[in-house]
Amino acid sequence: MRLVVSVDRDDDLGRKAGVQGPVVGRAAVLDAAMRLGIADPEDSDTNALFAAVHLYDEILRSGDECEVAVLTGSPKVGFVSDRKVSEQFDKVLASTKATSAHLVSDGAEDEFLNPILASRVRIDGVLRVFVHQNASIESTYYTITKALKDPKFRAKTLLPPALVLLLIGIAAGAGYVWWGLISLLILLGVYLVLWTFDIDEALVESLRSASSDIRQGSVAFGFGLFAIALVGVGFLSGWKVLPEPTPIGNLLAFLNAAMVFWFVAAEVWESGRALRFYFLRSRLPRAFPIATTSIVGIGFLSYGLVYLVEYLEGLQYPSQLPFIVGAVVLGLGLITGAGILSQYLKGRLQTEASAPSVG
């Protein structure tokens, strides 16, 4: 049995056409393609769905047994969307008993999932669907204009130059161009870190979750406010110990006083999320021990590194060196243990999902 798979990683089917994945069968896929085409005639996923049906028909004409399916992810492209696609793919494989698959894609983003799919079944081929367009100046202008209307594309491409122009303009107007350039470098560096690790999406999701917690009276909101307050207390505590004789001394003293509050805040935040999960499902989330171990490990490692720099600067006694090395080693060990525990739980979940149900 062969399986033709089209992946809608950002869940355009769900958001625009109200179609929930997985979609299995020729008639169901055609219906989903029609709904998406009517909802948004310019969405390239529509062409990918029709291409999947076309490939399905070709395989059937060749005499091979085949099925066609569409997997949908989530607007939160990344861990959340890929996990949903993986879960749906496991369900489709369990119901169709397919031994190989063909991936139909409308772009490179969907093909990021190729390794995930290939870990479950043999991939016989990847068909990328291109939409023919008139390569004129008007068409290029229209394509760029259309892309700029996409909120995700706009946020990733227009925000950096907007920050540059805004900060330089404010700094020049105030007569502090040099400080404007320094602030610009710091802000762009923070932005690149947020973008690289998708922290911006996590922050947006946290705000949405906080709004939902307020409406539902969830315990997580109170824990979240307390965690934010602890972060502020950490900054104030670090500020109180200044100034030291040297800039490096100022930085080390600030971190030494503030970090304990920040790590406690992180644990309070995770505890609130875990309690909310417990009240909903009567069990703690599997990720809670991983998060707790990681926070404690990062705490030991961070303080060990701060004390190590203080030792190298002559601010710590030589007798403290074994404790400094111990803190660094313990922190690395806990972080490594959290990673091993994460992989173990992930493997156990996959084993439970692939195990045949008895009923």
- Looking at the fold, whether 206 and 318 belong to one and the same domain comes out as yes
What average pLDDT is seen over the chain? Answer: 81
Range(s) of the domain holding residue 78: 2-128
Domain stops at, among 128, 159, 175: 128
- With respect to residue 110, please indicate whether it lies within any of the assigned structural domains: yes
* Boundary (domain end) residue, out of 108, 128, 148: 128
In a domain, 160, yes or no: no
> Do 210 and 119 share a structural domain?
no
The reply to whether 115 and 248 lie within a common domain is no
Flag whether 181 is in a domain.
no
- Out of 60-64, 104-108, 126-130, 238-242, the most confident range is 60-64
Q: Which of these ranges, 78-82, 123-127, 198-202, 259-263, has the smallest mean pLDDT? A: 198-202
**Coil, helix or strand for 287?**
helix
In angstroms, the first-to-last Cα distance of the chain is: 25
Paired sense of beta strands 66-72 and 23-24, if any = antiparallel
101 and 208 in a common domain: no
Could you tell me the pLDDT band of residue 55, with boundaries at 50, 70 and 90? very high
231 is a domain residue: yes
Question: Dihedral (C-alpha) 125, 81, 293, 338: value to the nearest 10 degrees?
Answer: 0
- Residue that terminates a domain, selected from 93, 128, 163: 128
Residues 257-260: contacts with CB under 8 Å, at least 24 apart: 258/234, 259/234, 259/299, 259/302, 259/303, 259/306, 260/234, 260/299
Residue at 183 is within a domain: no
In the three-class reduction of DSSP (H, G, I as helix; E, B as strand; rest coil), residue 42 is classed as: coil
pLDDT above 90 as % of the chain: 25
pLDDT digits (tens, 9 = 90+) for 299-332: 999 999 989 888 888 877 888 888 999 999 999 9
Claim to verify: residue 113 and residue 202 sit in the same structural domain: no
* Tokens coding 58: 């070709």
Digit-coded pLDDT (tens) for 62-93: 888 999 999 998 887 777 888 889 999 999 99
**Is 317 contained in some domain?**
yes
Tokens of 140: 């290029």
Token pair recorded at residue 299: 């705490």
Same domain, 124 and 203: no
Tokens, residue 270: 């995770």
Q: How many domains does the chain have?
A: 2
